[in-house]
Structure 1
């Protein structure tokens, strides 16, 4: 992951000239093929970052580069072709009467020929394991299924980067797990760059790297295992420690040598199962 696909260079932004800065001198990089989680409490600046990446906003100071293109009014549409966004409420993204119509909508707007459009729709739905729901009405799907269709709609446009803007916050645990498993698989198989904008550290635990935002500034940056060592500090910043992290900490305190890369529930269950088999 040596190729920089996103760069923020000393970026500052405020929503009003009399308002405090929503982002203040923010610099960071995202590398091609990685999963980066940007976390923070409400008002920390993380959602503003998402809007700036997609050219919905422009910085007051500093520069933003997406795949070596500098964000500007002249290049904003080229940049948007590189980025797909999945939002918090999938119902707000649906426009088609069926799942396949909805996935095809963006392709129609891009003037993709019908034959290629059909191929892309089927491929995108296969990638998110929703091929059996082609003719279903989106509003009859579960929350997790709706978000998988929303991801398929983005995938069909073949972006280089997918931004998940609080995309799992309205889902129940099962739906959240469905969506994050699909994202992990897509990152691995399609070599996509994933950026999670979230306050959920359970989601962030699945990322390759985490940036913690606080009051419009980059507070800390590092690997998940390093960030979660800040447990009390994260709580002071308004972030809750993942249950798995608390459990692992408790097990270690009681003499169990749990590997440091075990940060989510699936890995912990696998480890305990293997441990039990060896007893």
Structure 2
């Protein structure tokens, strides 16, 4: 079952405890203050004095090597972990047991392996499952299923069995299941790591379009800096703490530091630097292959 499902009955446009939400609601949409977390079997903190904000409508990438704390932070944002110390506010609610289902209704999570997310025998059944779980009326549910599949370009696969889809198509169906629930935030937890380059491009382009159309907030938890280059802002985690944050341009200027942290800079940046060392007259800061090709074309490949 997807972790963002909520048990209970909701009618269209009605939310639980909206009067209580008003007591807590304040910008930014996510606020984390001095958070510590430690697994019972470990001697050191998995998260150590983490403080960060996520603005409504931004795309934030959280990157780090294995063991940096990014997966622990993703689980905390979905209410699977609670801080040992500190405070987490998500979409107007404090991360506490009594509000965890409200948080999960407002924060939709797309996981690494799409096959682990499917529960329906057809694409439409799978997208409808979360809506049924929320008690959404049938006519509204049908409309939302079709609208969400249309938005991710999968409406033609309505009656297809999920296991017949490609990896990128499966992940787009998983995203449709999230957006059908109309969350405030989409959390991608290594959601493209098992996809080939084409599938990765399909998913990231879909997320970007949805973000712009619906003013969604997107959080991408990843070790892939080419994916992180799509974000508005990047936070680098190291040993459970915030190591650095800034725009993609800012972060990728830390070339050697990123490599020392166990991360790899995007291929277009490495290629651009190699070409400059060979004397080609091109500017730096190209985060995508398209940007680098455009620069090479306009510079006429001059040395």
TM-score range, shorter chain: over 0.9
Task: Please give the alpha-carbon distance, in whole angstroms, between the structure 2 residues aligned to 1:73 and 1:121.
Answer: 30
Q: Which residue of the other structure, out of 226, 232, 235, is the alignment partner of 2:256? A: 232
- 2 CA distance for matches of 1:22 and 1:121? 38
Query: How far apart are the structure 1 equivalents of 2:120 and 2:198?
Result: 25
Aligned to 1:25: 49
Q: Which of 174, 180, 191 is residue 156 of structure 1 equivalent to?
A: 180
Q: Distance in 2 between matches of 1:217 and 1:248?
A: 31
Q: Aligned match of 2:78 in 54, 58, 62?
A: 54
TM-score for the superposition, normalised by structure 1: 0.94
CA drift of 1:268 comes to 2.7
Aligned to 2:22: none
2-structure distance, mates of 1:269, 1:122: 38
CA RMSD of aligned residues (A): 1.7
The alignment partner of 2:210 has SS state of helix
Counting matched residue pairs gives 275
Could you tell me which of 90, 102, 119 is aligned with 1:66? 90
Distance 1:240 1:108, change over 3 A: same
Alpha-carbon contact 1:90-1:150 (below 8 Å) kept: yes
Partners of 2:298 and 2:160 lie apart in 1 by 41
Contact 2:62 2:237 in 1 (8 A): yes
Normalised by the size of structure 2, how large is the TM-score? 0.87
User: In the TM superposition, what is the alpha-carbon distance from 1:74 to its structure 2 partner?
Assistant: 1.1
Match in the other structure for 1:123: 147
Partner of 1:44: 68
Q: Specify which of 201, 219, 235 is matched with residue 211 of structure 1.
A: 235
The 1:81/1:38 distance shift into structure 2, 3 A limit, reads same
- Distance between the aligned counterparts of 1:18 and 1:144, measured in 2? 36
Q: Shift of residue 224 of structure 1?
A: 0.5
Question: Residue 219 of structure 2 aligns to a residue in which SS?
Answer: strand
Q: 1:180 corresponds to which residue?
A: 204
1:9 aligns with 2:33: yes
- CA shift for structure 1 position 272: 3.9
Q: Deviations over 1:195-237 (max 9, x none)?
A: 0000000100110000000000000001101111111111110
Query: Structure 1: how far apart are the matches of 2:108 and 2:36?
Result: 23
Distance of 2:127 and 2:28 partners within structure 1: 29
How much has 1:270 moved relative to structure 2?
A: 4.1
**Residue 256 in structure 1 maps to residue 281 in structure 2:** yes
CA distance in 2, matches of 1:269, 1:195: 28
- Aligned pairs for 1:189-204 (under 5 A) are 189-204=213-228
Mark the runs of 5 or more structure 2 residues left unpaired by the alignment.
1-25
Residues 1:75 and 1:267: Cα distance change in structure 2 (over 3 Å): same
The within-5 A match list for 1:104-123 is: 104-123=128-147
Counterpart contact for 1:251–1:258, Cα < 8 Å = no
8 Å CA contact 2:190–2:222 kept in 1: the answer is yes
In 2 relative to 1, CA 116–248 (structure 1 residues): closer, same or farther, beyond 3 Å? same
**2:114 aligned residue:** 90
